[in-house]
């Protein structure tokens, strides 16, 4: 398994295009590209990203848009609304083609109200299949959707993915902090994801629920990595932080060293 980092970890501290040298200096060569605004969806900006990633030999495994800008409306039944959202989606798909990203980390619709949601899984499956076909067509089958568990979206529990997958073939991304915020075990999520699991986002948290750098919280990374070895997980492990989780880049470096040691111990224990 390979450690990587999301450029989202540097959001508000560094511009996206300037993160690749930082990632390289941290000794990493794989990342998730977080595109934060329409400015960054522009093909000319993506050309700059490709130039930077090539310069520092960084593989963009996956990309992630600021999905609240348009992803919920991709499920709108009003054609005009859907078509507008689809224009953004196609920009992301073309960014995936240029960057050679393998997966588009996807949030989908949000849960905005405190009520019981009765989801139309057949409709969701049909719409996700349509979107997946579009991104596959644009990227020549090199990229597809990886639906991420997020505690304020439809995918806030393992049963959502289990039921959704009966209606469409879609991969997924596990986010351990989002599982924690959903108050559901990461292992319950993985049980539902099975072979659909293609990407993993990690950070840490303490007893009070505050998000932390890995190594500063209570999450048992050794046991987690051992489990990933046992299910033969093949994707990367992407460190995804918020800017307030660290004061300087050296702190991220120390956290990565901790994670490397956890991976090493887990690998030895599994063998």
Cα 184 from Cα 70, distance rounded (Å): 27
For 96-116, the pLDDT digits (tens) are 999 999 999 999 999 887 788
So what's the pLDDT on residue 114? 78
CATH class of 3-270: alpha beta
Would you report the helix, strand and coil content of the chain in percent, each value rounded to 5? 50, 15, 30
Cα 54 from Cα 48, distance rounded (Å): 10
| Dihedral of the alpha carbons of 261, 34, 16, 138, in degrees to the nearest 10 | 120
Kindly give the confidence (pLDDT) of every residue in the chain, 271 residues in length, as a single tens digit, with 9 standing for 90 and above: 899 999 999 999 999 999 999 999 999 999 999 999 999 999 999 999 999 999 999 999 999 999 899 999 999 999 999 999 999 999 999 999 999 999 999 999 998 877 888 999 999 999 999 999 999 999 999 999 999 999 999 999 999 999 999 999 999 999 999 999 999 999 999 999 999 999 999 999 999 989 999 999 999 999 999 999 999 999 999 999 999 999 999 999 999 999 999 999 999 988 7
């Amino acid at each position: 398994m390979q450690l990587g980092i999301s450029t989202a970890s540097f959001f508000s501290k560094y511009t996206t295009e300037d993160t690749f040298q930082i990632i390289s200096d941290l000794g990493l060569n794989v990342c998730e590209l977080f595109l934060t605004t329409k400015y960054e969806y522009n093909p000319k900006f993506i050309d700059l990203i490709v130039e930077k990633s090539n310069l520092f030999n960084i593989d963009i495994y996956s990309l992630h848009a600021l999905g609240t800008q348009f992803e919920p409306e991709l499920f709108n039944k009003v054609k005009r609304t859907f078509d507008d959202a689809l224009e953004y989606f196609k920009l992301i798909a073309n960014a995936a083609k240029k960057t050679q990203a393998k997966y588009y980390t996807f949030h989908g619709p949000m849960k905005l109200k405190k009520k019981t949601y009765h989801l139309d899984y057949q409709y969701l499956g049909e719409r996700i299949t349509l979107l997946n076909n579009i991104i596959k067509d644009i990227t020549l089958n090199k990229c597809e959707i990886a639906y991420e568990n997020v505690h304020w979206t439809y995918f806030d529990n393992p049963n959502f993915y289990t039921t959704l997958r009966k209606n469409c073939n879609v991969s997924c991304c596990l986010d351990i902090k989002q599982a924690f915020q959903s108050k559901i075990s990461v292992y319950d999520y993985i049980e539902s994801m099975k072979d659909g699991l293609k990407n993993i986002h990690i950070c840490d948290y303490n007893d009070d629920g505050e998000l932390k750098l890995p190594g500063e919280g209570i999450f048992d990374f050794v046991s987690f990595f051992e489990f990933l070895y046992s299910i033969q997980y093949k994707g990367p492990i992407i460190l995804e932080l918020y800017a307030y989780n660290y004061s300087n880049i050296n702190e991220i470096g120390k956290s990565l060293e901790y994670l490397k040691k956890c991976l090493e111990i887990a690998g030895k224990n599994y063998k």
